[in-house]
Structure 1
Amino acid sequence: METLHKIDSLLAKLTNSIPEVKPRFHLHPSRPLECSYRQLDTLITIITDEKPYCTLRCYNSALEHNITSSCLCRVTGDYYNMPFEYRRKQLNSESITQLCKSLILENTAFPDDGIETPTFSRFYLLIVQYVAQMQSHKLFKYLRTINPTVPKKYFHFRVADESEAITISGFEHNAITPFGMNKELPIVLADDITKLPGDYCWIGGGEIDVKLGFNVSEFIEKMKPMVTDIYKRDGEKEEETPINDN
């Protein structure tokens, strides 16, 4: 009886919350009915999970930033062991190019007495596509251009240690998201993401098996990331070892 009472209580919470949640979770543009079901399923899972804190933190932060196009989708446990096409189908996205990830990069040359600014920092959050390969030299050139007074010697990048990335973000590997991080970081968005089908992409959603989708133009408008070309292109000279993180 206690279990049934608990279920009734949870369902009552869900029912009472639907009128408020619906305007905040817009439907995925390609197959709205299916996405609507997945949103409802995700909300039920969030309410009944024992420890949903990370996804709730991500969700609440997206709402606070007024990302009205956001959509949550819970994926299967084998998601990261499967090809990109399988992942695309799980998210009901139009193209594998819409599958993106958030990486925390460390500027190991940042001076000990350095003052962090919105464009010059020890750590940066990069949003890139899985299908692309990042070229650290392009990021270096871009940040040097927008920070002309900072000497060249104060830039050198590597992917942050996993333990450090977890501490900074508050999220596990493959769950990192720009929303609800322990520490806000300057965001760099690969410019190819601005050209995606439907102007829509998917990134981590606070938990390993939750993905967050959003409209890219709205993200740029609300979150103000730096947008630039940071990919290695076919035929380009490799000026520095590309940063890879699968």
Structure 2
Amino acid sequence: MEFQLKRSYVSMTKTNDEPRKEEEKKKEKKQQQEVNKRIQMQMGRSDIDISKIGGPKDIEIYNDNITDTTQRYINDLKGIMNETTERIIKSIKEKELNSARIIRVPNDYYQRSLDFRKECLNAPDTKYLCKSLLMKNTKGICIDWKDPTNSLYYLVVFQYVTKLCSEKIMKFVRYINGYEISKKNFKFRLASPEESLQVTGFDHNAVTPIGIKYSDIPIILSHRVLELGHFWMGGGEVDVKIAVNVNQFRNQFKPYIADITYEGFIDPTENLEQLTSTF
């Protein structure tokens, strides 16, 4: 079952079918309201803009403060190019991510605080820093990722200042497959570094949806990222980071949007062990 919000298209010309079309429009609106209600109940939230929640769908792209072209920011790689960076840049161009910024950060980036990392990226706040993790359903009956509503793997993207909740991932995936599979067949855990490398093509701390080895692996983007104009994530190498416009990312990668983190934010002044923990 593909989980996405439907759109209505109403003819601008009045015809004899107008009453029937109006009735269909009302019916679809009612169905949409039911979907919205179910989503709110599923997430336990009534304050979320439902128009932004759902699965793959086309959306309008909005401008934000990242406006320079990709070619401009290739220079920020400090002249260090290899097979991985070339793959990333190729994917950026193929996806027409003209909002993308790609830069190389200091070698001790992950040994330093989030505030230090924020300054390296010239990000407005630590909330703009995100990570991508490959999650595996260790009790699933699926053997691959061909069915996005019941996949062996999901690539989740969320903020460093939040903590991932595997229970919420399980509930969301059960919802999008219509609860057709027993709860006992779901247990999401972080894929091992070796398995993640094999599936994504990237090492630990370098995983990104851009240029991923298997591009059809379903992506789940934290709904909190929608509040940002753009966000930073891994760039294929440990010391490379990529920023992209949120709406442009959604338009090109068609991620599911879901509440997949615990409530509240982690204090960026806390120790690095807490900031880099998964669960």
TM-score, normalization by structure 2: 0.67
More helix by share: 1
Q: How far apart are 1:62 and its partner, in Å?
A: 2.1
Question: Counterparts of 1:8-23 in structure 2 under 5 Å?
Answer: none
Q: 8 Å contact 1:58–1:180 — kept in the other structure?
A: yes
Q: 8 Å contact 1:58–1:177 — kept in the other structure?
A: no
Aligned to 1:129: 159
Using the aligned pairs only, state the percent identity. 34
TM-score, normalization by structure 1: 0.76
Q: How far apart are 1:42 and its partner, in Å?
A: 1.6
2:172 alignment partner, one of 142, 157, 173: 142
User: Is 1:217 the equivalent of 2:247?
Assistant: yes
1:193 alignment partner, one of 225, 233, 251: 225
Aligned to 2:262: 232
Alignment deviations for residues 17-75 of structure 1 (CA, whole Å, 9 cap, x no partner): xxxxxxxxxxx92797xx997642426322xxxxx111211221122122221110110
Q: 8 Å contact 1:128–1:189 — kept in the other structure?
A: yes
User: Is 1:162 the equivalent of 2:193?
Assistant: yes
Aligned to 2:278: 245
Aligned to 1:172: 203
Instruction: Summarize the Cα distance change of 1:36–1:93 in structure 2 as closer, same or farther, 3 Å threshold.
Output: farther
Q: Which moved more, 1:135-144 or 1:113-122?
A: 113-122
User: Is 1:29 the equivalent of 2:60?
Assistant: no
Alignment deviations for residues 97-152 of structure 1 (CA, whole Å, 9 cap, x no partner): 01101100000112166783022110110001111001111111111111012222
Question: Counterparts of 1:47-62 in structure 2 under 5 Å?
Answer: 52-62=82-92
Q: Give the counterpart letter for 1:195 in structure 2.
A: E
Q: Which moved more, 1:187-196 or 1:104-113?
A: 104-113
Q: 8 Å contact 2:76–2:102 — kept in the other structure?
A: no
Q: 8 Å contact 1:103–1:125 — kept in the other structure?
A: yes
Alignment deviations for residues 220-239 of structure 1 (CA, whole Å, 9 cap, x no partner): 111100001111115xxxxx
Aligned to 1:20: none
Q: How many positions carry a matched residue from both structures? A: 205
Instruction: Summarize the Cα distance change of 1:231–1:77 in structure 2 as closer, same or farther, 3 Å threshold.
Output: same
Q: Give the counterpart letter for 2:150 in structure 1.
A: F
Q: Which runs of 4+ in 1 moved over 6 A?
A: none
Q: 8 Å contact 1:31–1:92 — kept in the other structure?
A: no
User: Is 1:40 the equivalent of 2:75?
Assistant: yes
5+ unaligned residues in a row in structure 2: which ranges?
1-63, 265-275
Query: How many angstroms apart in 2 are the aligned matches of 1:114 and 1:96?
Result: 35
Quote the RMSD (CA, aligned, Å).
2.8
Q: 8 Å contact 1:69–1:215 — kept in the other structure?
A: yes
Q: Give the counterpart letter for 1:99 in structure 2.
A: L
Instruction: Summarize the Cα distance change of 1:38–1:116 in structure 2 as closer, same or farther, 3 Å threshold.
Output: closer
Q: Which moved more, 1:54-63 or 1:219-228?
A: 54-63
DSSP-derived class of the 2:79 partner: helix
Q: 8 Å contact 2:145–2:153 — kept in the other structure?
A: no
Query: How many angstroms apart in 1 are the aligned matches of 2:235 and 2:143?
Result: 34
Query: How many angstroms apart in 2 are the aligned matches of 1:37 and 1:224?
Result: 26
Query: How many angstroms apart in 1 are the aligned matches of 2:144 and 2:241?
Result: 35
Q: Which moved more, 1:143-152 or 1:120-129?
A: 143-152
Q: 8 Å contact 2:136–2:188 — kept in the other structure?
A: yes
Query: How many angstroms apart in 1 are the aligned matches of 2:195 and 2:77?
Result: 29
Q: How far apart are 1:161 and its partner, in Å?
A: 0.6
